[in-house]
Amino acid sequence: MPAIYRRARLAVLPFRVASDGDQEGLGLVAVGAMGCGLPVIVGDIPAIQDFVTHSETGWIVPPGASDSLADAIVHLLPDRDLASQIGAAARSHVVKNFDWAVSAGRYDRILRQLSP
């Protein structure tokens, strides 16, 4: 996937809540794209609130709002400087918070607290 992400200028992931309430649980595709320095445009669902900050580490649009989604694409696609800034901030955030070593360290601390 990293090779594909590197060829792209944006990752557009219009997450939304299904009629039965089903929705994306974490947004690993967005995390992967962000980790490759790719700016993301995502639908605003609870799962993305932990790792996407609007206009800083990504672009958030209301779920199901196709006009807002199109506006975000039209805004970010030609603005290479802004897209580059958001992509760099996204990568930095993901490396700081989702890197394997960071995640393993968190699990280690949790498991040590649970051990007698």
Domain ranges in the chain? 2-114
The pLDDT value given to residue 115: 79
pLDDT at 113 over 80: yes
The pLDDT value given to residue 55: 95
d(CA 14, CA 23): 11
d(CA 91, CA 94): 5
d(CA 68, CA 115): 49
**CA dihedral sign, ordered 52, 54, 58, 60:** positive
- For the stretch 59-96, pLDDT in tens is 999 998 999 999 999 999 999 999 999 999 999 999 99
pLDDT band at 1 (very low <50, low <70, confident <90, very high): confident
pTM of structure: 0.84
pLDDT band at 41 (very low <50, low <70, confident <90, very high): very high
How many CB atoms are located within 10 Å of the residue 106 CB?
11
The pLDDT value given to residue 116: 74
User: What's domain 2-114's architecture?
Assistant: 3-Layer(aba) Sandwich (3.40)
pLDDT at 25 over 80: no
**Three-class SS state of 65:** coil
d(CA 96, CA 51): 11
